[in-house]
Amino acid sequence: SAACLGLGAWGTLLIVPTQSSWDSDLSPLEMSQFQLEHARLLFKEYDRDHTGISFSELKALLKVRLKHLLVKCTSLDSRHKALDVGAGPQGKDKAPSAMRKVRKQAFKAADKEYNRRLDFQEFLAVFSFFFIRVGGCRVFKEADDGILIIPEGAPNSPKYFFNLLQLEAFADDIEQRRRFAIDAELVLRARTPATRMCML
């Protein structure tokens, strides 16, 4: 086991345990660190009131981010065809009834707390369903068993997260590291004479 740092309520520093192993009976939802970062960015962008992703927010996300989707999951759509989930004129929902049904069923399958909001861990199942393993229904069951992240540069050292606090702390830590790396790169570039001349 290991630990990662994150900020809790009121900016308090948290040391959150993570695991590199898990019960062999479990089949956690697996994704790369890059996919986790992408999901985190979308979650923060569309969770406008910071209460979790609502169905209307998910619908808005899919309209913008997806143009065509091949739904392969027979329990969500038996017709196995490409479905348009884009937005029409003035943002009108032009998705056919089959796609609207898929969106509703995917949201319902992920909402384990039945509060009509998806927390970040629940959202990862929906994200995986629509963006990674398109139409793969098993993602919802796998998310119940936890989330398995494959870190950049360390494919043989996956990180297993069994609760939301761990997952958010890890995602926030990655985001902070990215920001530090960008800041460091900007400072380095600013110190380069050629760069300074271009900036004048």
pLDDT tens readout for residues 43-58: 999 999 999 999 999 9
Dihedral (CA of 28, 30, 36, 42) sign:
negative
d(CA 23, CA 111): 24
d(CA 177, CA 160): 20
Q: Are 110 and 55 in contact (CB under 8 A)?
A: no
Q: What is the pLDDT of residue 58?
A: 95
d(CA 110, CA 136): 13
Neighbours of 7 (CB within 10 A): 14
Q: What is the pLDDT of residue 36?
A: 95
Q: What is the pLDDT of residue 53?
A: 97
CA dist 198 → 23, 181, 182, 185, 188 (Å):
56, 22, 19, 16, 14
Q: What is the pLDDT of residue 7?
A: 39
Give the residue from 26, 11, 39 showing the smallest Cα distance to 130. 39
d(CA 81, CA 98): 10
Which portions of the chain are predicted below pLDDT 70? Answer: 1-24, 67-96, 193-200
Name every residue whose Cβ is closer than 8 Å to that of residue 176 and which is 6 or more positions away in sequence: none
Give the residue from 49, 2, 17, 15 showing the smallest Cα distance to 157. 2
| Sequence-ordered strand ranges (E) for the chain | 2-7, 13-18, 29-32, 68-70, 82-84, 147-150, 159-161
Q: What is the pLDDT of residue 175?
A: 86
